Structure 1
Amino acid sequence: MSYCPICDGFLSSFGHTCPPLWEVCDAEDCDDQDWQTIREIDAEEAAREYAGKADSDSGGGPHERTVLVRAPGSTDVKRFFITFDYSIDYYAREA
């Protein structure tokens, strides 16, 4: 399998288009230099991706954060309220 050198997406025989760029940051800590760039299919997915990368796997219980998302260079900012929790799932099967 081969992957796109720009977005790391799977290159298929049907063609490939990289997802658009989005600028994202945490609403609680967002200065001009805090915006990060993420490639995702839409603004909501960009907010989820940012939250997933910003949080560690060691937290416990439900969490929340507000993420700001905009198109690169745009002043039109969308605000997404993200909630999440960590879970450990155990599965058993007879040996």
Structure 2
Amino acid sequence: MSDCTKCGEYMFFPERHTCSPKWEVIDADECGENDWKTIHALDGEDAAAKYAEQRDDRNGEGPRERTVIVREPGASDEKRFSITFEYSVDYSAQEQS
């Protein structure tokens, strides 16, 4: 078991793996027309969420909202998705004997 070299998804059963469709994505506020990235995802909404997760390289210090534009590869029709996210730190305790 390993990650697919094309789409990056973890393959539970490599012999039955099929990559998700490709989508072109871009951050509406921080990127230019030449910055489109390709994401493998089930649909446009999933592509927008995956892209936002990949762009969050600030370990919780980045923006809490993002607008992502998604289109099919080479298409002119675009969809805009508002992405909101929050960071969480969870603690748990266990009594020591």
TM (norm. structure 2) is: 0.83
Aligned residue in 1 for 2:67? 66
For structure 1, the residue ranges without an aligned partner over 5 or more in a row are none
Q: Which runs of 4+ in 1 moved over 2 A?
A: 2-5, 29-32
Identical amino acids, percent of aligned pairs:
51
In the comparison of the two structures, how many residue pairs are matched? 94
Q: CA deviation at 1:2?
A: 3.9
- Any idea what SS the aligned residue of 1:68 has? strand
The answer to which of 68-77 and 4-13 deviates more is: 4-13
**Matched residue type, 1:81:** S
The answer to which of 2-11 and 41-50 deviates more is: 2-11
Aligned residue in 1 for 2:38? 37
**Matched residue type, 1:66:** T
Q: Give the whole-Å Cα distance in 2 for the aligned partners of 1:13 and 1:35.
A: 29
For structure 2, the residue ranges without an aligned partner over 5 or more in a row are none
Aligned residue in 2 for 1:86? 87
Aligned residue in 2 for 1:57? 59
Aligned residue in 2 for 1:4? 4
Q: CA deviation at 1:13?
A: 6.5
Q: CA deviation at 1:37?
A: 0.8
CA RMSD of aligned residues (A): 2.0
**Matched residue type, 2:71:** R
The answer to which of 37-46 and 51-60 deviates more is: 51-60
TM (norm. structure 1) is: 0.85
**Matched residue type, 1:42:** D
Change (3 A) 1:92 1:47: same
Q: CA deviation at 1:5?
A: 2.4
Q: Give the whole-Å Cα distance in 1 for the aligned partners of 2:26 and 2:91.
A: 34
